[in-house]
Amino acid sequence: MNNETYEYKPLSLMFVEYKSGDLLGFILAWITMLPILYAVSIFTIIIIRRDLTTILYFIGFLITELVNFVLKNLIKQPRPYLNEHRSKGNFSKYGMPSDHSQVMFYFSTFFVLMVAYRYYIYQSKLMQILIKSFLCVLAIFAAILVAFSRVYLKYHTNEQVIAGSLIGIFCGSIWFFFINTIFSKYFHYITTWKISEFLMIRDYTHIPNILLFQYTAERNEASIRRKNKNN
């Protein structure tokens, strides 16, 4: 009989601790998981829409994660655990820069630039400004909340969160302008590749409002098919 003992560790991807009885801590524990939920949402959109911008948006997230991993293991600054009751063994021991803050600010920066430069709403100019402003403020506010949650829940120091946020803003800005000014010129050629046709990869670069485009195209197609069926 094998008498060996094994150490079992939980999968820490969605493992978040907060102080018992702390309502704000409970709320922030959910908010701190936004980067993971956002990444899953983008991957789902890729499966459904398969457009190059979203695919590269997700690739930028992976690059940002790699940058964070390298920096953490170079700087090797520990997390600010204050007592022995925290589950130290369930997380990476290094905290500089904050991964969650970096990723969320990457997502938000890229999203804000996308809304500002590429998104168009077929409404009045005032309505377009209001909707764009609302989306940008919402994205920035979400990133700030995630960063705040990492400090409040004592997973990172202020300096670690600020560093992660600034790196995320830098990564999001550089990656967006690289895609928008350089890589997007080759989108048309990429979509003509055999593998792209097989995977149904699309280029929505020149469509300012994808939701409206899809709604109109699908409604017209449904109307045509309904008329053909009745005839």
Spatial contact of 35 and 146, defined as CB atoms under 8 Å apart: yes
Strand intervals (E) in the chain? none
pLDDT for the residue 210: 75
Question: Binning pLDDT at 50, 70 and 90, where does residue 223 land?
Answer: confident
Distance (Å, whole) CA 38 – CA 187: 25
Tokens 């948006």: give the residue. 57
Mean pLDDT of 176-190: 88
Distance (Å, whole) CA 19 – CA 22: 6
Residue 156: strand, helix, or coil: coil
Residue 51: strand, helix, or coil: strand
Looking at the whole model, is its pTM more than 0.95?
A: no
Q: What is the pLDDT of residues 69-108, one digit of tens each?
A: 899 888 888 878 655 566 655 566 777 898 889 999 999 9
| Torsion angle of C-alpha atoms 153, 154, 158, 160, degrees rounded to 10 | -110
**Residue 58: its H or E element:** helix 52-75
Q: What is the pLDDT of residues 126-167, one digit of tens each?
A: 888 888 889 899 999 999 999 998 888 888 888 999 999 999
pLDDT higher than 80, residue 11? no
Distance (Å, whole) CA 49 – CA 26: 34
**Burial (CB count within 10 angstroms: exposed 0-12, middle 13-18, buried 19+), residue 28:** buried
pLDDT higher than 70, residue 5? no
